[in-house]
Chains A and B, each alone.
Chain A
């Protein structure tokens, strides 16, 4: 197959060739960036929280006003006892937050390695927990031990947070002590020293935006006595949660206590929490996929249209080639090779544009750098698309009979 005549022929259609090259280039630039965004969003939204999400639900329980800390403490203890005895409930604990719940002021604290450390303290999120937390969340310890019942304290929003021991995630332990010696070490909460008594395999905190902070989670052995309300996390035996939710609500109601549970979103399953937390990521991924799909289709349509036009313009030349001995295979190959050349030109230009666009997006949307495979995959896709699109017009061209050469139209 000789490329010289193809290039010579393209030289006679400079504008049309340039248009397809430009189109392929723009398509590659936009589609590879869009699909890269889709990939990052999907990776982001499918991160596991580390918990047994399918069997966990959350009760946002508000307290009626006028109850003092002792009453709230008694309420929480009695509520937990009630919850753990509902049929279908495996375990439960109380906290001030839950995974993927989003930012609020009560879930952030800082850890220091030295009491008088001058550098920035490590930002972490924490959950008020007790000895049932690990079982309720369905997470596991990789080192150390669980809390003992006698270690669980009760603190209000204005009390000092200084437990004797805390449990941290492995990612946080490795961040604080890169040599892997975190277990048993003393670290400093803002209110005082504490020891790392256990290390979890993984547990996502309430945040969902940053890669690192999301996994820096600390369990603090305490019941959090917030007069505004408390969060109960409940793990069920089976994934059919509806009847269990109804039963727990009924049990809480029968137990009494001046509580407010919003009828609309007082109870949410972890699945719902995840859906709400990642709604925007899902939306971005979906939109970008749809637009990329349309983009590729449009480009394919354009290639079909212009190739057909070229074929119809060159019927005479094709006829002459055929009468001079070219087989239908030769004609087919000619058009496929021509398309390959044009698309390749577009891909070279497009890869350049794609990286430029990525630089811009990195600046505006804090996107990571696009890995090389994204435009490579896009290029492969476009080559394939081009060959598929030109198939119809090329076959049509191959059917041109040699007799056209001597026929005047």
Chain B
């Protein structure tokens, strides 16, 4: 029966070519606009650590007060004082402090020129908390942190450049003139978005590649490495920081902190601890304001930072509206198409076809058109993804790709959308009175 209905659908399409073509073209464009936007949207809103994002939290403590904070919200990074206090308190099962910085990298190989490369100064838990994959070796231990060890973890890419991709664990690398032992080499690791230092980096860099060099936070501090991004409440930080020691203990915010808390109850306890800590700072006279703290999990954090680029969410919104308008359009056109066939329906009904049969026939006809529209949609979607480089900013465009799930979704969306918009026209068609139709055309 299905085959027969599809054949009927094709035959009736052949009779009203223009109307059919219009419906299919509309569907193709509507669905593909949606899918291209969706391909970008899913790339920019994906969860960087699926399964773990609800257990990782960013603690914030307002250390600058209402005249310098962000309209009541604490600054998105911690001061060194507060970061170290959280680290020493050990109130979370895991905690990492980190900040982005750049290094001058020199190799013993004279053929490789000195490079300036980015990376992060991190504490030992960084690698385990964020499931960082290793190609060779591994991270370092809390002991290394305590001893300010000269150990480094480098990216696979840097390992290719310096050591031709060989296992370089135990070899040495010169960072800012100091020798570091290589403890591990990463696999390709590029979490999207680059969430771990998004607090200090800001959203502009959220879709850039991760850095090449990771060294212990304590050692980087010894080397007086400043972070790439600093927020100092008193303008240029010179005012209260004539030397490194004073700078460290100033109220400049520059450190990203993450804690791992297994259950919501743990999170509540940690929040309580943060409030207690801020209250104590207030009692000590360091803060002249009520405790103002935040603890957000990874998902909420990315939402708060508004990491998703505007181009991505706006185009998703507008193309979804476009599809909606196309569907309203298709309802009208389907109505015209089915009403035109009233005589045919009348005769079929008179010959004994039940309403259910009419429903089945016309919904299958709609699904068939939806399928063809979906095929056109696939072609246009592929074209759109291919041309994403011209439509989106380069750092976003390179994340966009088409895969089987996207293609399957395109066809499914087209079929579902057409069937839904055919519901009302089909209902109208099924209301056709058999005798009336035969009389009027007789």
> Measuring CB to CB, which residues of chain A are less than 8 angstroms from any residue of chain B?
15-16, 19-20, 22-23, 26-27, 29-30, 34, 37, 62, 64-66, 102-105, 108-110, 120-121, 157-161, 189-191, 228-229, 260, 262, 279-280, 282-284, 286-288, 290-291, 294-295, 298-299, 301-302, 304-306, 308-309, 312-313, 365, 409
Contacts and interface: CB of A to CB of B under 8 A. Distances in A.
B325 A284 contact: no
A283 B102 contact: no
Contacts of B116: 62, 229, 260, 262
A298 B319 contact: no
Among A66, A105, A288, A301, residue most surrounded by chain B Cβ atoms (within 10 Å): A105
8 contacts: A26-B324, A157-B238, A160-B239, A189-B236, A191-B238, A279-B393, A284-B310, A295-B321
B114 A306 contact: no
Interface string B64-78: 000110000000000
B117 to A, nearest CB: 10
B147 interface: no
Secondary structure type dominating chain A contacts = helix
Contacts of B322: 30, 291, 294-295, 298
A263 to B, nearest CB: 9
A64 B235 contact: no
Contacts of A191: 236, 238-239
B391 interface: yes
A295 B325 contact: yes
Contacts of B318: 30, 34, 287-288, 291
Given A120-B68, A282-B393, A288-B318, 7 more contacts: A26-B321, A158-B243, A279-B393, A280-B393, A291-B315, A298-B325, A301-B22
Contact of A294 (B29, B204, B333): B29
B311 A103 contact: no
Secondary structure type dominating chain B contacts = helix
A27 B231 CA distance: 45
Contacts of A294: 29, 33, 322
Contacts of B68: 120
Contacts of A26: 321, 324-325, 328
A373 B321 CA distance: 22
Interface residues of B, number: 67
Contacts of B395: 279
Contact of B328 (A22, A291, A312): A22
B46 interface: no
Interface string B409-442: 0000000000000001000100000000000010
A34 B320 CA distance: 13
Interface pairs A-B: 7 shortest CB-CB: A309-B336, A279-B393, A302-B329, A105-B230, A190-B235, A110-B235, A19-B332
A237 B91 CA distance: 63
Given A306-B332, A365-B310, A158 B325 contact: no
A367 to B, nearest CB: 10
A161 to B, nearest CB: 5
B332 A23 contact: yes
Contacts of A262: 116
Nearest to B318: A291
Contact of B319 (A16, A291, A301, A409): A291
Interface in B102-118: 102, 104, 113-116
A326 B67 CA distance: 77
A392 to B, nearest CB: 11
B30 interface: yes
A23 B328 contact: yes
